Amino acid sequence: MDLQFVLEGRRDLAGQIYRQIRAGVLDGRLHGGEPIPPTRELARWLSVSRNTVAAAYDRLVGEGFLVARVGAGTFVNADGVHRPTADTALRPRSCWTEPAVRPDEVPIEYDLRPGLPDPRLFPYQSWRRAVMRSLRVDSAGYGDPAGHLGLRTAIARHIAASRSIRAEPDDLVITHGAQQALDLIGRVLIEPGDVVAVEDPGYPPARRLFRSLGAQVVPVPVDGDGLVVSAIPSDTRVVYTTPSHQFPLGMPMSLARRVALVRWAAEQDAAVIEDDYDSEYRFGGRPIEPMFTLDRGGRVLFVGSFSSTLLPAIRLGFLITPDSLRAAFRAASSVTGRHPELPMQQALTGFIDDGLFARHIRRMRNQYQTRREYVREILQRDFGDWLAPVSASAGLHVAARLRRRTLPDTVVVERLAAAGVAMRPLSTLCAGNRRLSGLVIGYGAVGTDELEPAFARLRAILT
């Protein structure tokens, strides 16, 4: 046997031997049919007891990595263990061959990517208390696939106050963030080959998800009023939108467009997803009436997320379902994630019911408003020649078009990354032929004192 053993310390020697032989079999250093030294010989060689080696061999035989032949000895299993070669290795479907996110090659000093709240200002102490309270024997089993009733009730009350949405707790399904809400909607509504229209520029995780479910994803342009309803293909089954704060450009969808889209959906027998991902942060202007409340025909599926109001790591969100889809959503949820972690759902229930959620949002809204104004000031003062910010009054990011085409936005962002600053190039959020060039600048995760040095690095790259 051509295998080097490295045993460390005196603990779990059998486990160490087991793992090293197992690794040798799996990576092909030990071949099928190859003899393994007798226990006595290996024990002497490694200065361990024979029982130790025997225990490792027994486990490897039990799991099928080795076979013991009476009177002949122990061998690497020639049949059971198959090491894939490059030709026969399993391959993902083509929609999964691109990595999810590019790993950061250099450490990020200032993270100005969109969609990130400030983790340093999260009320960890009260959240920890809420989680501790909910880790109880009555939250130990499976829960309701539509989500914890207490949380559905608390969210229904919250969105009634914050978004003027009238929904019963039974209309809600609690999800692992907005992303799982989109996944459930796709599973419930989309047949392979169906057309799903998405905003362009738009939110790449939504596009990719619908494509992975077999949809034909069609980018539809947005203008100053939001999605261009007249450009939606007539055979579209589902339209994905971000009406209160278009991702990534930031302007709200005008009332006329929202009404037109709801009417279009009724005429075409289509569904509209209203992704309301960061509407809690609105800093002026009139409240944007959700499409959900304009809809009388049960065509709009409203999606909310706690990623920007709490933390992205908490992975909680919800969708509001029309009556006609309620049972289907429960069924789809019960065979996919089943439901988000019950203790987390209960913790959030307490957090909302005790007023801590509303207090946290109020506090963060003030912070983000200050940061937003600061960013607008810097852009106006120092970047007027290079960047044209898109006018918007909500959310945790601002988009700014590059005025000069001397450098592609991807190059600007690459150079910024090398200088320790992360932003998102606008062109990478475009899906159609129209490639907008610009920067999507998040201010959720950086304090005002960090904005000045971060923008100084951007200035050095652009000038």
Ligand X SMILES: Cc1ncc(COP(=O)(O)O)c(C=O)c1O
**Which run of H or E residues covers position 70?**
none
Strand, coil or helix: 209? helix
Q: Is position 455 an interface residue for ligand X (rule: CB under 6 A)?
A: no
Q: According to CB under 6 A, which residues from 94 to 153 bind ligand X? A: 115
Which residues make Cβ contacts (< 8 Å) with residue 216, sequence separation at least 6? 193, 194, 195, 196
Q: Is position 277 an interface residue for ligand X (rule: CB under 6 A)?
A: yes
Of 117, 186, 243, 317, the one binding ligand X (CB under 6 A) is 317
For residue 355, how many C-alpha atoms fall within 13 Å in the half-sphere facing its CB?
A: 0
Which one, 248 or 389, has the nearer CB to ligand X?
248
Which residue bears the tokens 């450490």? 107
CA pair distance 301, 146, nearest whole angstrom: 15
Q: According to CB under 6 A, which residues from 364 to 383 bind ligand X? A: none
| Binding string, residues 335-364; x marks residues near ligand X by CB under 6 A | ------------------------------
Q: Is position 244 an interface residue for ligand X (rule: CB under 6 A)?
A: no
Do 351 and 130 touch, CB atoms closer than 8 A?
A: yes
Give whole-number Cα distances, 268 to 186, 235, 261, 354, in Å.
18, 8, 10, 44
Of 305, 309, 346, 437, the one binding ligand X (CB under 6 A) is 305
Tell me the number of residues near ligand X by CB under 6 A. Answer: 13
Q: How far is the CB of 432 from ligand X (least distance, A)?
A: 17
Give yes or no for a cis peptide into 248 (omega within 30° of 0). yes
Q: Which residue is nearest to ligand X (CB)?
A: 115
Which one, 179 or 349, has the nearer CB to ligand X?
179
Q: How far is the CB of 4 from ligand X (least distance, A)?
A: 46
Which one, 198 or 451, has the nearer CB to ligand X?
198
Of 57, 127, 210, 247, the one binding ligand X (CB under 6 A) is 247
Q: According to CB under 6 A, which residues from 170 to 199 bind ligand X? A: 177-179
Q: How far is the CB of 114 from ligand X (least distance, A)?
A: 6
| Binding string, residues 46-75; x marks residues near ligand X by CB under 6 A | ------------------------------
Give whole-number Cα distances, 438 to 164, 231, 292, 339, 401, in Å.
34, 24, 31, 39, 4
| Binding string, residues 250-269; x marks residues near ligand X by CB under 6 A | --------------------
CA pair distance 203, 181, nearest whole angstrom: 14
Q: Is position 226 an interface residue for ligand X (rule: CB under 6 A)?
A: no
Q: Is position 275 an interface residue for ligand X (rule: CB under 6 A)?
A: yes
CA pair distance 246, 374, nearest whole angstrom: 21
Which residues make Cβ contacts (< 8 Å) with residue 342, sequence separation at least 6? 134, 139, 143, 148
Amino acid identity for residue 88 in this structure: T
Which one, 76 or 314, has the nearer CB to ligand X?
314
DSSP 3-state percent helix, strand, coil across the chain (nearest 5): 45, 15, 40
Which one, 42 or 213, has the nearer CB to ligand X?
213
Q: Is position 210 an interface residue for ligand X (rule: CB under 6 A)?
A: no
Which one, 16 or 307, has the nearer CB to ligand X?
307
**Which run of H or E residues covers position 257?**
helix 255-268
Q: Is position 312 an interface residue for ligand X (rule: CB under 6 A)?
A: yes
Eight-state DSSP code of residue 198: E
Of 307, 346, 349, 437, the one binding ligand X (CB under 6 A) is 307
Which one, 212 or 268, has the nearer CB to ligand X?
212
CA pair distance 26, 185, nearest whole angstrom: 40
Question: By the criterion CB under 6 A, which residues form the site for ligand X?
Answer: 115, 177-179, 203, 242, 247, 275, 277, 305, 307, 312, 317
